[in-house]
Structure 1
Amino acid sequence: MNADFAFVDVPGIRWDAKYATWDNFTGKPVDGYLVNRVAGTRALVNALEMAQEKAESLGFGLLLWDGYRPQRAVDRFVRWAAEPDDARTKARFHPRISRAEMFSLGYVAARSGHSRGSTVDLTLYCSATDELVPMGGGHDLMDPLSHHGAAGIGEAETANRQHLCSIMEACGFQRYDSEWWHYTLVDEPYPDTYFDFPVA
């Protein structure tokens, strides 16, 4: 791994690296994810440590779904988008749009901020119960319900999204308006570099 990158090993932070598993919108493990771990720049890890401390003060913990994403994984997404729809994943991840529309609507990009190493996909869990808090839609649901400020989700889910947003923004992150789970460091160390070493 690049010397300026590290695995996110922070007490209290959990992870479930979705693209290393079969539980993602492609329906299988994605190129470049050789282990179920989340990595990122050291700057990302330090900021997440601060975010975890802030989350704990509010009775939450952080659960990460993705961090650094090799460019080869993004390239696989591009190839996958040209393949026929699969009913197994469409209903859960993109029920109202085609694969190609994922790109035109901004849910997936051919050049992802994740590949720069300072973007993270995450949610909150309740410290008292270890259960994920309701957010009004799961990771990678490519739908207007996933947008910040979306209509059609309940008060509790709206409040939980606001908790996550306030935690992350207080620790130097900027939200992505179309995905409630997606945050990027404002002062990312590699704003113009797209890395391709595997998560291994």
Structure 2
Amino acid sequence: MRDGFAFVDDLVPGIRWDSKYATWDNFTGKPVDGYLVNRIVGTRELGAALAQAQDKAAALGFGILLWDGYRPQRAVDAFLRWADEPSPDTDERKRIHYPRITRPEMFEKGYVATRSGHSRGSTVDLTLFSLATGAQLDMGGDHDLMDEISHHGAAGVSEVAARNRAYLCSVMESCGFSRYEHEWWHYSLIEEPYPDTYFDFPVG
């Protein structure tokens, strides 16, 4: 592990996670280069801010579930290679993650970046869950649904989902994060410690 980084669950006891890119459950349909274990890595500054967010969420009856944090540049490069592969019409991943666009359009429309803020170590993909039931809150669409319905303020989102997105946004922005307008689950630490550095050490 590089100095200044740690596993987020070591920094924020009790936080839940499911590192999607370390599993088969992501838009590529397989584990992604650079993710050697199903854990989330981030800067220590990210961990401190997430600990605050976890406390604020708990006061509302919610917990935090992380899907991604630090992302090695080699993973981003793997996304680029994957985008050039044939995409069969019957691809189940397409139906779930990018039903109305092509693979190259993921980059053109800003859902996947060739230089990702995740690689700087202070960006997270996350959602909220009920502390009472453990169930994830309805957000009007799943993680990595690359569609306009995932945008903040999207038309067609139910009142419940819009309210839940607002809860998440309020918690994160009150703890020093900024939202990404195209993805309701994506937040970056405003005062990130490495704003110009894209790391490539593996998660593991």
**TM-score, length of structure 1 as denominator length:** 0.99
1:84, distance to aligned residue in structure 2 (A): 1.0
> Which residue of 2 is the match for residue 31 of structure 1?
33
What is the SS of the residue equivalent to 1:23? Answer: coil
- 2:60 paired with 1:58: yes
Question: In the TM superposition, what whole-angstrom CA distance separates every residue of 1:114-147 from its partner, at most 9, and x where no partner exists?
Answer: 0000000000000000110110000000000000
Q: Matches of 2:70 and 2:118 in 1, distance apart?
A: 5
CA RMSD, aligned part only? 0.6
What is the SS of the residue equivalent to 1:182? Answer: strand
Where do 5+ consecutive residues of structure 1 fail to align? none
**Where does 1:68-147 land on structure 2 (aligned, <5 Å)?**
68-86=70-88, 87-147=91-151
Q: Which amino acid aligns with 1:83?
A: E
**Where does 1:10-29 land on structure 2 (aligned, <5 Å)?**
10-29=12-31
- The 10-residue stretch of structure 1 (85-94 or 115-124) with the greater mean CA deviation from structure 2: 85-94
Where do 5+ consecutive residues of structure 2 fail to align? none
1:12, distance to aligned residue in structure 2 (A): 3.0
Q: Which amino acid aligns with 1:178?
A: H
> Which residue of 1 is the match for residue 179 of structure 2?
175
| Mapped contact 1:12–1:52 kept (Cα < 8 A) | no
> Which residue of 1 is the match for residue 4 of structure 2?
4
Question: In the TM superposition, what whole-angstrom CA distance separates every residue of 1:26-54 from its partner, at most 9, and x where no partner exists?
Answer: 00000000000001000000000000000
| Mapped contact 1:12–1:62 kept (Cα < 8 A) | no
Percent of residue pairs bearing the same amino acid type = 70
1:11, distance to aligned residue in structure 2 (A): 2.6
What is the SS of the residue equivalent to 1:43? Answer: helix
Q: Matches of 2:132 and 2:187 in 1, distance apart?
A: 25
Q: Which amino acid aligns with 2:106?
A: M
What is the SS of the residue equivalent to 1:180? Answer: strand
Q: Which amino acid aligns with 2:26?
A: N
Question: In the TM superposition, what whole-angstrom CA distance separates every residue of 1:89-131 from its partner, at most 9, and x where no partner exists?
Answer: 1000000000000000000011000000000000000000011
Q: Matches of 2:174 and 2:59 in 1, distance apart?
A: 13
Q: Which amino acid aligns with 2:152?
A: H
Q: Which amino acid aligns with 1:14?
A: R
**Where does 1:149-168 land on structure 2 (aligned, <5 Å)?**
149-168=153-172
Q: Matches of 1:54 and 1:18 in 2, distance apart?
A: 25
What is the SS of the residue equivalent to 1:195? Answer: coil
Q: Which amino acid aligns with 2:168?
A: L
- The one of 167, 171, 195 equivalent to 1:191 is 195
Q: Which amino acid aligns with 2:196?
A: D
**TM-score, length of structure 2 as denominator length:** 0.97
1:3, distance to aligned residue in structure 2 (A): 1.1
> Which residue of 2 is the match for residue 43 of structure 1?
45
What is the SS of the residue equivalent to 2:164? Answer: helix
